[in-house]
């Protein structure tokens, strides 16, 4: 093991085993840490199902190698505030923003990013919510309604 290589995931520190350094963050989060909100959709960074925050910025975990994000702070849906997750789920139910749920983690992460940290909201933010996330069921407008009510 190379000394000092670790990840901070949802506030906890994890040493990265050497065999994981060149492997995808997505697989490490799901298989080693059992954080199943991080989904594999396309494996090419196009669908947004694997969106996580890396040092506060949304990124696709399927495109990141564990060694590249060593010593950085990773947040998954499980690391978001419980009250935010509950509010998001309630609004999805209210607006019909859930069907199969496969895209939900990516939309949850993007909505948390767009509604936090002083990000300007409005039509541009609503468009950003869906720009990097593919919903197989087509509930984009309902999810835009969720974001509009969160802001």
Chunked mean pLDDT (size 10), the chain, 151 residues: 76 93 96 95 89 94 95 96 92 86 87 69 64 81 83 73
Provide CATH 3.10.20.30 ranges for the chain: 6-79
- Among residues 66, 54, 53, the alpha carbon closest in space to that of 25 is found at 66
pTM (predicted TM-score): 0.87
Domain with CATH 1.10.150.120 in the chain: 82-150
Rounded Cα–Cα distance for residues 14 and 6 (Å): 5
Q: Can you give the pLDDT at residue 21?
A: 92
- Residue 134 is predicted with a pLDDT of 83
Pick 6-79's CATH classification: 3.40.1170.20, 3.20.20.70, 3.10.20.30, 3.40.50.2300: 3.10.20.30
**CA-CA distance, 135 to 8, in Å (whole number)?**
29
In DSSP terms, 8 is beta-bridged to 13, 73
Which residue shows structure tokens 């396309």?
A: 42
Homologous superfamily (CATH) of 82-150 is: [2Fe-2S]-binding domain (1.10.150.120)
Q: Look up tokens 């901070």; give the residue.
A: 8
Half-sphere exposure of 148 (CA within 13 A, CB side): 14
């Amino acid at each position: 093991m190379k000394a000092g290589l670790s990840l901070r995931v949802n506030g906890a520190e994890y040493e990265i085993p050497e065999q994981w350094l060149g492997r995808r963050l997505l697989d490490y989060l799901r298989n080693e840490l059992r954080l199943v909100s991080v989904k594999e959709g396309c494996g090419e960074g196009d669908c947004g199902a694997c969106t996580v925050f890396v040092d506060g910025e949304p990124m696709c975990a399927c495109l990141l190698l564990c060694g590249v994000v060593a010593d950085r702070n990773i947040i998954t849906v499980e690391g978001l505030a419980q009250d935010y997750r509950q509010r998001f789920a309630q609004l999805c139910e209210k607006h019909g923003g859930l069907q199969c749920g496969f895209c939900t983690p990516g939309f949850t992460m993007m909505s948390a990013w767009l509604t936090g940290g002083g990000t300007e909201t409005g039509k541009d933010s609503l468009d950003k919510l869906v720009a990097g996330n593919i919903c197989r069921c087509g509930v984009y407008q309902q999810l835009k309604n969720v974001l509009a009510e969160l802001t």
